[in-house]
Amino acid sequence: MLATVFRSPPTLVFNRRPDQCRLPVCGDPDDVFFDTARQRIYVSCGAGEIAVFQLQDRTYHSLTWIATASGVRTSLFVPELDRLFVAQRAGLLGSNASVRVYRPVP
C-alpha cells in the first residue's frame, strides 16, 4: 500500500485496492508511518497534532488525534522499539528543542 499526505486541503490519500481512499487529517501534515502490528497509520502535523487511523473492516478510520505543539511535524516511527519519535523545535518563548516519544497502546 502507498500513502501520502497533502497540505491543501490536509488529506491522507492511499491506495488499498484499485480505488483510492481520502481521509481528512490535521493541518500542515508532514510524515506518514504504517504500524503493521496494530494496523494503524500515524500522521504528524505542524498544526500541533498526530492523527491516528485504524484499519477496520478493510478500511481505515480516524481513531484519535493526539495534541503536540504548533510546528511539531517531523517524526519517525521505529517498529522495533514500538515508539513514535516527534521532533519539537525551539520555541519563541525560549523553550529548547526536544524529541517527544510516544508509545502506541493496543
**Domain range enclosing 55:** 2-102
Return the beta strands (E) in the chain as ranges.
2-7, 10-15, 20-24, 29-35, 40-45, 49-56, 59-67, 75-78, 83-88, 98-102
Whole-model pTM?
A: 0.89
Cα 87 to Cα 48: distance, rounded to the nearest angstrom: 11
Q: Which single residue is written with the C-alpha cell 491522507?
A: 12
Q: Which amino acid is at 21?
A: C
Q: How many domains does the chain have?
A: 1
pLDDT, residue 89, reads 83
> Could you read off the pLDDT tens digit of each residue along the chain, which spans 106 residues?
788 899 999 999 987 655 568 899 999 999 999 999 999 999 999 999 999 999 988 888 999 999 988 888 899 999 999 999 999 888 756 778 889 999 998 8
pLDDT, residue 58, reads 81
